[in-house]
Amino acid sequence: MNTPTKRRGCFRNGCLALVLLPLLIFAGLFWAHRSSQALPDRFVLVVPLSGGIDEVRNESSSLPFLPSHESLSLQELLFVLNHAVADERVREVLLDIRGIHTSPAKIAELRDAVEKVRKGGKKVTAFLRSAEDADYLLATACNSIIAERGGFLLLDGLKVESLFYTSPLGKLGVQVQAAQWKKYKSGIEPFVRTGASKEYLEQINALLDEFYDDYLGYVSKRRGMSRSSFEALINNDPLVSAKKAQTLGLVDGIASFWELQRQLTRKVSGKELARDNDVFVSGARYRSAVAWPQKGESDERIAVITMSGMIVHSAGEMGEGIDIEMLKNSLDAALEDKAVKALVVRIDSPGGDALASADMLQMLDSAAVKKPLVVSMSGVAASGGYMAALAGKTIFAQPLTITGSIGVYALKPNISGLAEKIGLGRDVVTRGQYADASTPFKPLEGQAYNKFVGASGEIYDDFVGKVAASRKMSIAAVDSVAGGRVWTGSRAMKAGLVDRMGGLFDAIHAAQQLAKMDMGKKLQIILYPEQKSWFESLLQGRSASLSDRFAAAVKQQVLHELLPQRQLTSMATFYEMLLTSGQLQMLAVMPSDIIID
């Protein structure tokens, strides 16, 4: 009797289909993605702007066939607009603005980018959806402003709000001990005071005066009205309808977004708006279709290394920010690449861990010996962020960049009152005089407290010494502008803390000159930390299988869309770590966050 032979391996029934079907689906998605990147011969570039504008995008491996609502980062916006200037396919640019909440310097740099597009001969239109001050300030950089039909403008001015936690924490039985170097380093105040100090109010008022002056001056100039008229509107009639805004000359037209699309479609293509019209290209699609970030005319390159977020020893401490290993890997890659002739370090950081900041400066100083290094400050480069900037041969800042804050403070929580309230007992056996000194269950006292304060002073003296050496200033001169004082970029230049006013492209141009590169040729730019595409992330995973990495990428993207990462302020991030860890923290951090909304 003949017994049928069983098929084994991948040719048994159904196995081949299980292998081929996922591959066919994957290939189809890949082909669809590649096809979607082809751009029409003439189109309107639509750039959505909303929420907080991060320096760089946190998600580097988003799947192309899943929709993403994440806004473009500041650097993506700058490069997209820079590409658009010389791209003949881009006939107009439309900024779709809805609720911007970001720093004054970032708005100013975006304004500069919009002005560059205008000077390149292309019309830029702003579409405002019930705008507030930041939205309107950016919109005034455009050729025309269209308000959404039925919308409004809320132009009520600028404010800074501070919260103080000393009393509510005291009711819980929690106190915080602090060491402050020096009196302008006001980051300790929310935990040790019930109201702002005169030094803090002095700084905030000075910053707010500059931001408000820029706001009034820029808007009145661009809209052809007197400064006093615009300020009177803010003070007397802050909430206006779209119709009244047009009457007052604040906007140029009123339309729904659909109506505006119809107008632009007829203007660009001569046709009516329809589903098959390919007139509008989103900023995200355009970014994926062009050579990124910039293709050069030779093999010579400039590396832009971004330090964005809190400075920490290890990113594992908080799931964000710049850590030592990340910076080291970026510097190593840029220094080993022989085609990279110069480095631009782009800083958007309020500082962070004082010792990690010092380590990063040492690494950057070492890199600057091997290749020219220029620093570009973004929205904020203060405290530990300013310390890192000291490595630059030239330091660029925007006039409204927040910088300086040369100072140190230390915080230590004491939860003895809370322990007593809940009846928590504690018995400790130690060896060594200070073995239990840093516990959160009791305050520092006597010699232990003196050492706590003294350590902060030593770090401050070291910080001041670093600034003096780098900026070629005396210790006394540095101390006179340090002590925790916060400066705008324009005032910091007068104080000798930065060299020149300008944005990212100005710093790149200066690096090109320092490296003696051919100034007549368009140079190639590479960005670090390296952001891998979704395809590279799938192929380069080290441990999991391809299918597992694919599933993980889908899961990560879906979770990111459903539960976006919450935005933490510079102080709140460290405060959260302080109160959850219970450990002493030695910080070189900006005392506050200032955003315009």
Q: SS3 breakdown of the chain: % helix, strand, coil, rounded to 5?
A: 45, 20, 35
Cα–Cα–Cα angle for 502, 505, 511, rounded to 5 degrees: 95
Token pair listed for 299 = 């093999």
pLDDT at 60: 46
Stretch (H or E) spanning 462: helix 446-471
CA 202, CA 462: separation in Å to the nearest integer?
26
CATH class of 301-406+418-424+437-442+466-585: alpha beta
CB 408, CB 588: distance < 8 Å: yes
DSSP character at residue 270? S
User: What is the phi/psi pair of residue 112, to 5°?
Assistant: -60, -40
Domain ranges (residues) in the chain: 37-156+238-289, 301-406+418-424+437-442+466-585
Tokens of residue 87, six digits: 């791209």
pLDDT given at position 23: 57
Q: Residue 572: its pLDDT value, please?
A: 54
DSSP track, 103-123: -HHHHHHHHHHHHHHHHTT-E
pLDDT for position 402: 97
Task: Output the pLDDT for position 592.
Answer: 65
**How far is Cα of residue 577 from the mean position of the Cα atoms in its chain?**
21
pLDDT (0 to 100) of residue 278: 86
Find out whether 44 and 264 touch, Cβ atoms under 8 Å. Answer: yes
pTM greater than 0.85 (yes/no): yes
Matching residue, tokens 């802050």: 238
Cα Dmax for the chain = 105
Cβ burial, residue 385 (10 Å; 0-12/13-18/19+):
buried
**Strands across the sheet containing 123-128:** 253-255, 144-148, 123-128, 90-100, 43-51, 280-282
pLDDT score at 298: 87
Which listed CATH number (3.90.226.10, 3.40.50.2000, 3.40.50.720, 3.20.20.70) goes with 37-156+238-289? 3.90.226.10
Q: In whole angstroms, give the CA distance from residue 353 to residue 368.
A: 22
Q: What is the 3-state secondary structure (H, E, C) of 140-181?
A: CCCCEEEEECCCEEECCCCCCCCCCCHHHHHHHCCEEEEEEE
pLDDT value, residue 296 = 87
Q: Which residues of the chain have pLDDT under 50?
A: 1, 4-7, 11, 30-36, 60-61, 65-67, 317-319, 542-543, 559, 562-570
Positions annotated as catalytic residues are 185, 383
Asked if residues 408 and 587 have their Cβ atoms less than 8 Å apart, the reply is yes
| Cβ atoms 39, 286 nearer than 8 A | yes
